[in-house]
Amino acid sequence: MDHESTASSRAQIRLFLCLKDNYGVLVHDPASGATAAIDAPEAAPVEAALTASGWKLSDILITHHHGDHTAGIGELKQRHRARVVAPRQEAAKIPDVDEKVAEGDTVTVGSLSARVIATPGHTLGQINYYFPAAKLLFAGDTLFSIGCGRVIEGTPEMMWQSLLKLRDLPDGTAMFCGHEYTDANIRFALTIEPDNPALAARAAEVKRQIAAGTPTIPTLMGEEKRANVFLRADDPAVATAVGLAGQPAAQVFAEVRARKNRF
Ligand SMILES: [Zn+2]
């Protein structure tokens, strides 16, 4: 193994709640000392995580323009002189952007390296950060554990295509998302797939996690592919469950998403 991949495999993570149910994450590269915040819902919990870890903030990687992902940018940037990386397509709506990125671009955090994946749907310019060597995905409000983001700016077809891009990532990828919504997502998913054994297993695991007061993320992409109904709209059983047997996957996805909105 070369030096770079060794360093990348040693990325360290701190996960913490912000606001009501947003997640803040710090990604630390011990090789260089670089530390990135993934999104900035509010400054204080990020500062607390930095203090607790002794890490120094070097970068802020933003997934999309919503205020519950960006409100802490100004304060954090001013205090730490951190570089702010954000989606090119939404840069005008995000404060203090230093580097605008889009699909296929590479973002480095010290010796760690992320590929930018464009995942429009929740917002039109949403991006996710995928660290292949460290096996990490920061999915913003595109993919949640056993759920996905509301389709606010894009179309269901667009969101489905974005989810397919994430579904292509290796099973061993640890997925971090923007919100702790897993319990409600599972209650909904069970209305569509009451007999999916992977979903039942995940439901049992989450029950234990909630009882223990621990976060339900990260999850592995392999588990999400088997248990997350929003990644399974092209499974004939899901189409049948929502009365759309034989219909295109994007249409099935749209129906599942619409049902979740009403749930
Ligand atoms: Zn959002």
**pLDDT digits over 120-153, tens only?**
999 999 999 999 999 999 999 999 999 999 999 9
Distance 151 CA to ligand 1 centre (A): 10
Kindly state the tokens that stand for 201. Answer: 């297993």
192-240 residue pLDDT tens: 999 999 999 999 999 999 999 999 999 999 999 999 999 999 999 999 9
Which member of 28, 64, 65, 80 is catalytic?
64
168-193 residue pLDDT tens: 999 999 999 999 999 999 999 999 99
Residue type, 82: A
Interacting residues of 173 by C-beta distance below 8 A, sequence separation 6+:
130, 135, 136, 137, 220, 221
18-68 residue pLDDT tens: 998 999 999 999 999 999 999 999 999 999 999 999 999 999 999 999 999
3-18 residue pLDDT tens: 333 444 689 999 999 9
Q: Report residue 54 CA to chain centroid gap.
A: 25
Percent of the chain with pLDDT over 70: 97
Query: Model pTM?
Result: 0.95
Residue 69 bears catalytic tag: yes
- What pLDDT is stored for residue 142 in this prediction? 98
- What pLDDT is stored for residue 3 in this prediction? 37
Look at residues 3, 49, 7, 2 and name the one whose alpha carbon lies nearest to residue 24.
Answer: 49
Which member of 28, 65, 69, 80 is catalytic?
69
Q: Do 215 and 209 touch, CB atoms closer than 8 A?
A: yes
- What pLDDT is stored for residue 4 in this prediction? 39
Distance 129 CA to ligand 1 centre (A): 15
Look at residues 170, 159, 79, 169 and name the one whose alpha carbon lies nearest to residue 124.
Answer: 159
Does residue 1 register a pLDDT over 80?
Answer: no
Which member of 29, 39, 65, 66 is catalytic?
66
Neighbours of 236 (CB within 10 A): 10
Average pLDDT over residues 100-116: 97
Which member of 68, 98, 183, 234 is catalytic?
68
Q: CA–CA separation, 143 vs 234, rounded Å?
A: 16
SS3 143: strand
Residue 64 bears catalytic tag: yes
Neighbours of 122 (CB within 10 A): 24
Backbone angles phi, psi at 109, to 5 degrees: -125, 95
Which member of 28, 65, 80, 122 is catalytic?
122
Residue 80 bears catalytic tag: no
Residue 66 bears catalytic tag: yes
Residue 179 bears catalytic tag: yes
SS3 155: coil
Distance 149 CA to ligand 1 centre (A): 7
Distance 197 CA to ligand 1 centre (A): 30
Half-sphere exposure of 130 (CA within 13 A, CB side): 21
Sign for the pseudo-dihedral over CA of 168, 172, 176, 181: positive
Tally of helices (H runs) and strands (E runs) in the chain: 10, 14
Which member of 29, 39, 59, 141 is catalytic?
141
Distance 125 CA to ligand 1 centre (A): 11
